[in-house]
Structure 1
Amino acid sequence: MKATLKSNTSIQDHSIYDVIISGAGPVGLFLACELALAKCSVLILEKAEDPHSPLKQLPFGVRGLSAPTIEALYRRGLLKKLEVHKRLKNPHQNAGQGVRRQVGHFAGIPFHEGDIDTSQWKYRLPSSTETSLISEMAELETVLANRAEVLGVEIRRGHAINGFHQTVGEVTVQAGNQFFKSKWLVGCDGSRSVVRKAGGFEFAGTEPEFTGYSTLLDLTDPEKLSPGRNVTSRGMYMQSRPGYVLLQDFDGGVFHHSKKPITLEHVQEVLRRISNTDVTISALHIATTWTDRARQATTYRNGRVLLAGDAAHIHSPLGGQGLNLGLGDAMNLGWKLAATIQKKAPEDLLDSYCAERHPIGAQVLDWSRAQVAIMKPEPEARALYAIVRDLMNTSDGATYFAGKVWGINIHYNLGGDHFLAGRSVPDFEFEDGTTIGDLMHDGQGILLDFDRNTSLKTLLNKYGGQIKYISSSAKEQLGLSAVLIRPDGIIAWAADSDPDRSELQKAVVRWFT
């Protein structure tokens, strides 16, 4: 792919990086960490000169982390560096105690802790990480940026990518008047991705139903608004903490796309109309808008150019799954791209990135669309809303929705007959208290041999240490004999008894060689 490049400017950096990443948000930073952990040279080009913004801090920057994200951070030793969740109660939860404590929602309909039957998730062990945590964008970026710099990642801020040109063997990237060369380019540059547009990726999907508002304001009479999330006949409003008000106005996204200034008078009119009150705003401090536009790149790869995060897929923030989806992309792509660069795997391993992550992205987009559909201020939507609410008040319903929201049941179709193939590895705890998550900080694959079958270890010898062999008993082995774990924590192969070496070898060849 080719974008317009200035011909009168020479290459400013004569080194050729393994990977250039466009965007220093959490997805770009996490991907850079994964690549650098595997000894790849990485350059991040970020258009913003200053990484700090009030929109990245609480309350605007609040983000819910789901189980796959929490596991990924834990497996790289980063979870312990997060502090916000230790002091902050989930601001999107209504007050509640015990079994009626709200722990999540779908389209504003809460599901409660006491209704969730965790026994249905039989492979989540007592040592497993939390299913959900609260963080903020600023905290995540700081932790990941520090980690990236320790690993040798080069981050250049104030370098907006103008375009690029790729050949069979490399990509030349232009940022301002400077040119940089790399073997691969990954666009992690958000919903308006320059990499996606310049790369000619098709971005298919649906247009918005509403304009969303995130506001920090002062109310003269806050008692006129009901607490928590309120779906009304005219939209939705939520005051999760004093002065922080979210709104959904079903205007087809007209105001958001109008680029009009967000004034106090306009926000007050929308708030009064949706809440059906005469509440008064005395001061508007910060306000931003967003929509439920839902689009996804039809492929995540075009030659030596790849997409991840919002550059690959956008949707409304309902349910808070956008960040988690992007970090999942990074965890899936990192080890595959590194193995390709280092010729430890055939290049077609990268095809599995899109094959595995595109369906997950499509599911999240549909999940978002479904929430919007039952939140519309229409009689048909109100009827669906009531039915879903009743279902969520049952044990099976609450368990289903919690599993979806928290990403418990994410599964890649890797073939094979074992239930665990393609699923996140349980956090096995060994007799000395070490867990499998503790052993994954180096980003290597693992063959976990509970039965101490030395023939399995012999099989790995010819792969030059790409896969660690661990022979040990765990406190709870779930009836398993051996497990092959990819660097991203996904089980590539598992056996309950008498491991079939030929099947193991096929799995090793497929994912690691």
Structure 2
Amino acid sequence: MENVLIVGAGPVGLMLACELGLAGARPIVLEKRTEPSELPRANGLGGQIVEFLDHRGLLERFSAGSPFAGRAPGFPFGSVPLRFAGIDDLPLQLLLIQQPRIERLLTERATELGVEIRRGYEVRSLAQDAEGVTLNGGLRARYVVGCDGGRSLVRELAGIGFPGTTDDEPLRLGHFRTDVGVFESPQFDGLEPGWTRTPHGRLLLTSLHPGVLVAGVREKGEPLEGPATIEDFRAAVRRVVGRDLPLGEPIWLSNTVSQARLAERYRVGRVFLAGDAAHLFPAGGSALNVGMTDAANLGWKLAAVLRGRASGGLLDTYESERRPVAERALMQTRAQAVIDQVGGEDGAALRELLTEVFAFEQPLRHLAGLLHDSGVRYGAEPGPHTGSGGSGRGSGSADHPLVGRFAPDLALADGRRLAELMHAGRPVLLDLGGGAALDDDWIDVVRARADDPPADALLIRPDGYVAWAGKDGLAEAAERLFGVPASR
């Protein structure tokens, strides 16, 4: 019997495979496509996943050749721009990288870690019992994780509901290779980067890479059927703006429709969901961030249970921690979609007012936090009060502002950063002068100094979240989470 079968070799499935491989598990990734896709369904990563790649020592590899990597100078919230210039401590990070490259790099890393990827394998049936899960009547594993997208067959076979709504404005989207500088042709007169609204629909024009134009057309109507064609795309452009545009040679065309959906459960027995199989967002900027950090959360927990380091109850915390993240992401992306869709004078007034409101620092900070990690603190109720809070060298409890939050990337006195301590994907006890100690070969104990330390010590989970901080209560925290005793 295998340990874990991961259905789907997209970014989420491959990220989970890397996490399990790093922890010593030997997952198998099952993918129905016989070859990797070259479709640029996503054009970048934004939010906490960028920090997590840094925690795994992968950020340099992923950012090589990227036209932009770093703190976001701004971000579109619906069709209202957020401008972060002058606020240097916002968390939101951006990395421009197309999905085919993300998948190639994650496949490369998974292979380095000994992960097997089986292509051309399509799941047709699923049955589970007290000991494991069987796919297609033969392949058997202790756990199965569906990372097979919005139309997840794993979700369907597991009997998990996927309620939500479907947009009534289908989207035609295309990438075009052009020798003409975007917007330099007179035929683009009157059109600006971003969305242009007309009485007949909306047109998107932008460029994320030199020589490549990204164009999109939204019109109200029935869902688009059949393969996307350049003739249909050009006809849609004419209907919306009343003229032809020099789009260039099509690289990739797609017909799609936005959906807002959230799985009723993330786990049924030994079957789990992650990524688009668990949630679909109606506006951009959150899907890969939430999906790939789903994988970060689930990976170490599955590995801990497989190694006998934790009871199966730890796996229940996957849903209790990650579903609220998706709920918050769904809330803010629904709001983005509405801001973008409202037309006429009402829509113009709404966007004008929000542009004024979003010019103030506090709304910008709040929205940046939502986009970065959904503003959720593990173990706390979601909402505005779940922000990162301040610092302080508390006595060590769930009340410490760092507990339940992603660990800040402290600069240590010896020149290292906290992110560098997390490359092995193991728990870390960072003793910053409090004399904390643990006697366990799974947890890395690091003694260091830092200017203005946020606590005497931090116990950090493999996914980068702070499990405990302060002085007192380390023994209880270590035993509860990792099943090990502590000494002082």
Q: TM-score, normalised on structure 1?
A: 0.82
Q: Name the residue aligned to 1:335.
A: 300
Q: Name the residue aligned to 1:116.
A: 87
In the alignment, is the contact (CA less than 8 A) between 1:344 and 1:512 conserved in 2? yes
In the alignment, is the contact (CA less than 8 A) between 1:227 and 1:240 conserved in 2? no
The aligned runs of 1:288-303 (5 Å cut-off) are: 288-303=254-269
Q: How far 1:149 moved relative to its partner?
A: 1.3
Give me the CA root mean square deviation: 2.5
The aligned runs of 1:351-362 (5 Å cut-off) are: 351-362=316-327
Indicate which of 136, 149, 152 corresponds to 1:190.
149
Q: How far 1:197 moved relative to its partner?
A: 0.9
Q: Name the residue aligned to 2:388.
A: none
Q: Name the residue aligned to 2:448.
A: 472
Residue 470 of structure 2 is aligned to residue 481 of structure 1: no
Residue 204 of structure 2 is aligned to residue 237 of structure 1: yes
In the alignment, is the contact (CA less than 8 A) between 1:65 and 1:135 conserved in 2? no
Q: Name the residue aligned to 1:494.
A: 469
Q: Secondary structure in 1 aligned to 2:85?
A: helix
Q: Name the residue aligned to 2:223.
A: 255
Q: Name the residue aligned to 1:364.
A: 329
Q: How far 1:432 moved relative to its partner?
A: 2.0
Q: Name the residue aligned to 1:135.
A: 97
Q: Name the residue aligned to 2:52.
A: 72
Q: Secondary structure in 1 aligned to 2:223?
A: helix
In the alignment, is the contact (CA less than 8 A) between 1:424 and 1:489 conserved in 2? yes
| Amino acid in structure 1 at the alignment position of 2:317 | S
CA distance in 2, matches of 1:163, 1:27: 22
Deviations 1:427-486 (A, max 9, x none): 122222111111111111111111141xx31xx32xx323222221124423x2111111
The aligned runs of 1:268-417 (5 Å cut-off) are: 268-275=234-241, 277=243, 279=245, 284=250, 286-316=252-282, 318-376=283-341, 377-407=343-373, 409-413=375-379, 416-417=398-399
- When structure 1 is superposed on structure 2, of 224-233 and 384-393 the one drifting more is 224-233
Q: Name the residue aligned to 2:107.
A: 145
Deviations 1:108-165 (A, max 9, x none): 22222325363xx5xx7xxxxx722211212211221111112111111111111221
Q: Name the residue aligned to 1:7.
A: none
Q: Secondary structure in 1 aligned to 2:429?
A: strand
| Amino acid in structure 1 at the alignment position of 2:220 | D
In the alignment, is the contact (CA less than 8 A) between 1:211 and 1:255 conserved in 2? yes
Deviations 1:50-98 (A, max 9, x none): 1142x13xxx5412332x11111111111121245x44148xxxxxxxx
CA distance in 2, matches of 1:264, 1:345: 54
In the alignment, is the contact (CA less than 8 A) between 1:18 and 1:184 conserved in 2? yes
Q: Name the residue aligned to 2:14.
A: 29
Q: 1:291 to 1:420 in 2, by over 3 A?
A: same
In the alignment, is the contact (CA less than 8 A) between 2:79 and 2:339 conserved in 1? no
CA distance in 1, matches of 2:168, 2:80: 19
Q: Name the residue aligned to 2:384.
A: none
Identity %: 33
CA distance in 2, matches of 1:225, 1:406: 34
**Residue correspondences, number:** 455
Residue 466 of structure 2 is aligned to residue 504 of structure 1: no
Q: Secondary structure in 1 aligned to 2:124?
A: strand
CA distance in 1, matches of 2:144, 2:229: 40
Q: Secondary structure in 2 aligned to 1:294?
A: strand
| Amino acid in structure 2 at the alignment position of 1:245 | V
In the alignment, is the contact (CA less than 8 A) between 1:191 and 1:310 conserved in 2? yes
| Amino acid in structure 2 at the alignment position of 1:327 | M
Q: Secondary structure in 2 aligned to 1:255?
A: coil
Indicate which of 112, 117, 129 corresponds to 1:155.
117
| Amino acid in structure 2 at the alignment position of 1:451 | G
Q: Secondary structure in 2 aligned to 1:21?
A: strand
- When structure 1 is superposed on structure 2, of 39-48 and 74-83 the one drifting more is 74-83
In the alignment, is the contact (CA less than 8 A) between 1:293 and 1:315 conserved in 2? yes
Q: 1:285 to 1:349 in 2, by over 3 A?
A: closer
Residue 409 of structure 2 is aligned to residue 427 of structure 1: yes
Q: 1:430 to 1:193 in 2, by over 3 A?
A: same
Higher RCO (Cα < 8 Å, 6 or more apart): 1
Q: Secondary structure in 2 aligned to 1:442?
A: coil
- When structure 1 is superposed on structure 2, of 327-336 and 468-477 the one drifting more is 468-477
Q: TM-score, normalised on structure 2?
A: 0.86
Q: Name the residue aligned to 2:36.
A: 51
In the alignment, is the contact (CA less than 8 A) between 2:173 and 2:217 conserved in 1? no
| Amino acid in structure 1 at the alignment position of 2:359 | N
CA distance in 2, matches of 1:404, 1:239: 24
CA distance in 1, matches of 2:237, 2:212: 13
The aligned runs of 1:433-452 (5 Å cut-off) are: 433-452=415-434
Q: Name the residue aligned to 1:8.
A: none
Unmatched tracts of structure 2, length 5 or more: 381-396, 484-488
Q: Name the residue aligned to 1:127.
A: none
In the alignment, is the contact (CA less than 8 A) between 2:329 and 2:374 conserved in 1? no
Q: Name the residue aligned to 1:214.
A: 173
Q: 1:282 to 1:81 in 2, by over 3 A?
A: closer
Q: 1:189 to 1:291 in 2, by over 3 A?
A: same
